[in-house]
Amino acid sequence: MSQEITTRNKDKIVRAINIINDPIRKTLSPRGSNVLLNRPDGTVRVTNDGDTIRHIVRSDDEFEQSIIRLIKDSADRTHQEVGDARSSTIALTSMLSIEALKLLEEGYNHRDIEKNFNLFRDKYVKEIQKLKTPSDKDNLFHVAKISANNDEEVAHNTIEALDVVGEHGLVFFDMNKDGKETIVEKELGFNIIGGLQYKELLLDANVFSVVFDKVPVLITDKKLYYRDESESILAVVKEAGYKAVVIVAREFIKGSDAVNSLVENHVANNVKVCLISDPNVTESENETLYDLASYIDGKVITERAGDLVNDITIEDFTIVKRVFQDPAKALIVPVSNGKDLDKRIEALHKLLKKDKSNVVLEKRLASLTTGNVNIFVGGSTVHEVEEKTDRYKDALNATRKAMTDGFVVGGGVTLLKAFKPSLTTSGYENVFKRYSETIIKQIAENCNKHEDTVVQIVKDNKNKYFGYNALTDKYEDLLQVGVLEPLRALEMVVENSISTAITLSSIATYIINKEDKKDDK
């Protein structure tokens, strides 16, 4: 391994910024351009989805690639929080990073840049928050529509899905193998906060979630510790002809013989294992286990009643339709609900009437009454289905954020109207004025409009929702026509773009590790 050490090189940094920013900024707005991607596997794809483009863009120069990766990370932080707005993050990160480099050349110290950039960010975000409007169902539809590149079918199906699953429920995507039509299939499912604790139990090392279909589930309030307990469970499952098992227990003791045995069997492909422990289950409170049993028409193997985990039969398991688990949660979909489920839901409603602020009761009721949705995306080709699925995911994530945090008008208008010279300090006014105009000017350019003219017309109008609508090619009240985006998405775009520009301006030396080439002899 050798190292290449170099000082800051502005020209190469700007080239790297342009490599990632140029194709992505041109996709902004409904009139933005498409990009033809030649993927590493030899296939091609035409898309204007910023996430897809971001994923494939790279430079063969390792120095430039390190800068590209830095900007990608900025966009990824936004996406992880709000599930959208990567393109805007990249556009603003790129613009402000270049401005930061110019400031350095003019003699500004990077510490001074950091201080003043942070001061502006805090004040600017507060101004953006003042432009927030609370969410309602019609406006949520518009948020979904904008995020889905103005596809009304995607927006309608997204809102329909969210009506079922709510803010935190699960939506699964698959290809409709039988036709071009997209089908939305709703089903109930029991939600548990207990997520994946052991990466060894993944089914695919590259996918951080697992899905089991038609699998036996064992529910117990025991802490599983001993090897003979786990081996007994595995033996019963295997003898009954099943190749996977789901165990919902009060607790799995990490490093215990029981857990080690279960992991070993999973890795060896003897019996695949999914382990779920609900953090709400304690020695004194295990009602959520009985909620689950009631939901899937099963039973609880309980320590108090003297039931023994190492003395069970296949009748102690319940076969369910599907189990999903990711690092944050698990979902169990029954073949059919239990006979006493309605009574249990009614009992919880009565308890909540007496204790309206009981969060535990609210969570238990939500687990029993919310559901999940399967969206089978239709299309003529695999590429069309992939592109449409991307739009569904963007719409879903953006709409969820708008449900919780409210929204602002999009099209770069909120960024423009939130800016005031008083938010900046001496020497930085023009930098942040240009920053606030970046998105609206890029949209104007993509629509073949004169950028400064669009900015001036929007600025001069006192209506805080007035802006240029790229879809209709009109100046209008963007709130009324539904050009909207989640408030939290815009906050994250600002926070991450400014943070990355600060980081880039603070780096004076770059060290790149390279593999040594071996001489062929």
Q: Convert 100-165 into a string of H (helix), E (strand) and C (coil).
A: HHHHHHCCCCHHHHHHHHHHHHHHHHHHHHCCCECCCHHHHHHHHHHHCCCCHHHHHHHHHHHHHH
The structure's pTM equals 0.62
Q: State the amino acid at position 319 in one-letter form.
A: I
Tokens of 448: 């073949």
Q: State the amino acid at position 91 in one-letter form.
A: A
C-beta atoms surrounding 20 within 10 Å: 25
Give the three-class secondary structure for 279. coil
Distances in Å between the Cα of 409 and the Cα atoms of 133, 417, 484 are 9, 10, 4
For residue 100, the model assigns a pLDDT of 93
DSSP state of 24: H
CA atoms within 13 A on the CB side of 188: 16
Domains of the chain: 2-133+409-514 (1.10.560.10), 137-179+377-405 (3.30.260.10), 191-369 (3.50.7.10)
- The owner of tokens 């939600």 is 191
For residue 8, the model assigns a pLDDT of 67
Q: Find the radius of gyration of the CA atoms of the chain.
A: 27
Q: State the amino acid at position 425 in one-letter form.
A: T
Distances in Å between the Cα of 66 and the Cα atoms of 9, 94, 110, 258, 487 are 13, 14, 20, 44, 30
155 in Cβ contact with 184 (< 8 Å): no
- Cα–Cα distance between 365 and 288 in angstroms, integer? 10
C-beta atoms surrounding 387 within 10 Å: 20
- Cα–Cα distance between 299 and 218 in angstroms, integer? 8
Provide the residue-wise pLDDT of the chain in tens; the chain has 521 residues: 555 666 667 888 899 999 988 888 888 887 877 778 777 777 777 777 666 777 778 888 888 888 899 998 888 888 777 766 888 999 999 999 999 999 999 999 989 999 999 999 999 999 999 998 876 777 888 888 888 878 889 999 999 888 877 776 678 788 888 778 898 887 778 888 778 888 888 887 777 888 999 999 999 988 888 898 899 999 999 999 999 999 998 888 888 899 999 999 999 988 999 999 876 666 556 788 889 999 999 999 887 665 777 788 999 999 999 998 888 788 898 988 778 888 888 888 888 888 877 777 877 887 787 677 888 898 888 888 888 888 888 888 888 888 878 889 988 999 999 999 999 988 999 999 999 999 999 999 999 999 999 999 999 999 999 999 998 999 999 988 888 888 888 999 999 999 999 998 888 777 766 665 444 43
C-beta atoms surrounding 319 within 10 Å: 16
303 in Cβ contact with 221 (< 8 Å): yes
The torsion of the CA quartet 14, 16, 20, 22, rounded to 10 degrees, works out to 40
Distances in Å between the Cα of 95 and the Cα atoms of 265, 350, 436, 500 are 52, 57, 10, 11
- The owner of tokens 């600025």 is 459
How, if at all, do strands 171-175 and 371-377 pair? parallel
Please provide the DSSP assignment of 296-364 as one string.
HT--EE-TTTT--GGG--GGGSEEEEEEEE-SS-EEEEESS--TTHHHHHHHHHHHHHH-TT-HHHHHH
Tokens of 476: 């209008």
